[in-house]
Structure 1
Amino acid sequence: MLDFSRFKLLTFDCYGTLIDWDSSISRLVEPWLHEMESQVPPDLVVSTFALMQAKHQQARPTLLYPDVLRRVWRDIEEQFGWDENPARADEFARSVPFWRPFADTVESLRYLSRHFALGILSNVDNASLAGTLKRLEVPFLFTITAEDVGSYKPGQPHFDAAIREAARHGIEKGEILHVAQSKHHDISPGNRIGLTTVWVNRRHGKKGTGATLVATADPSLRVNSLAELVDLHKSAQGGSR
């Protein structure tokens, strides 16, 4: 159990942690698979997405996220032998603001925002994140995107920028709790620079790692949902508030 009283700021990974990108991507591509009469299951498209996304983010860290997505979709088409379809690539590139939160996200953020400042460290561009923020319905002290820092996680620039931004608000590194689903993108680099981390195992009970990559890292706390994190905080507070 963490001593929650130590922390003033919760920083979140967004996609995979707050936003259910596995289901959202599957929902987007399922009609395309039907149109193509493809036998490829949506979850295989999602896991292929994870590999192709990492390739482009590592090769061109300043590439804006919609351009990453456009290239990723073309890679997926090549991987499965589908004909190139620029209209689908464009729709895929524009899809981020339409990806949906997990069922517990908004209510959990509302609760947590009454006890902590909140921040986001995201691997997308500013315009895509702006669309997502409308779905989250709570204020954030700051957001940091790949566009802001010219880098994609698991690179360190997101985390360095978060520590600097927190310091501007009088919050020390030891008072930041970083909450994320991806060990690869967040828990491992967060641990490496001395942040306290919470791993949200959103794929609990499911096979594979979905839209993220396999990594080994030991978080300070493991939960299966944001609702579970809220319940732990309520218990530490001696009841619900």
Structure 2
Amino acid sequence: MQDIIDHLPKLPEIQQQKLTIPEFEEIEVKATDSVEIKKFIRKVNYEFLGFHCNHKVMDKDCDMVYFIDIYKSEEFKTYDNFVSLVAKCVWQIRDKDRRGKVWNEQIKPATFELKKTIDALVVLAGQISMYNAKMNPQCSKCKAAMRKYNYSVKEIERMRNDYADLKKEAEKPAEDKMDMLTFLNKNYPTADDFLLSDVKKKYKDTFNIVKTFDILREEIEATKLFKVMNHRNIYHVKRL
């Protein structure tokens, strides 16, 4: 009898998990980060440290999936009847044994009942798996937020590597490399106000080196004769 029970198909566990809101780690601003990188990190932290998603609607949908449908199904009734037959058979055998009598009646359930129960269990397993899928949904908004956060972390790392490479390139000695003051006086001998983007372009054309606004700003202001100003997100270089 025990062998019959042990060899029945196993039903999957009924599972229900409430949706959880992901929590994002704060990204540390390093002293070596450029102004541009620091600004981007603060923007990412501001967006993700206060992230919230309303899961009430989805949780409600989960709660409305009732397993009463399974308990009322014909398959579950077949399984329940099988268990009752086995329990009754075991009880009768033990009762006879307790009274010192031999139990020689037909073992129930019969073979056809066993086969019917196995078929019912296969169907029930499929129904439970289907309900589990409905009871454990995923929030598309939260998944998108996690992808965006992971991308931001990778982008910050890329920006830091690029910034470090540019600083190393800028610090390399070069025979044909003029200092920033000489470069500005040569290209803007009389201009008192010009665009930083134009400086970047001319520097690239001259030395084939692309410098970020942060590095250009540091080198320009180090001359003490020019200052970089931000007017409506447009950077200007002004002669002092």
Rg (Cα) greater in structure? 2
TM-score calculated relative to the size of structure 2: 0.21
Q: TM-score, normalised by structure 1?
A: 0.21
More helix by share: 2
* Higher RCO (Cα < 8 Å, 6 or more apart): 1
Q: Per residue, is there more strand in 1 or in 2?
A: 1
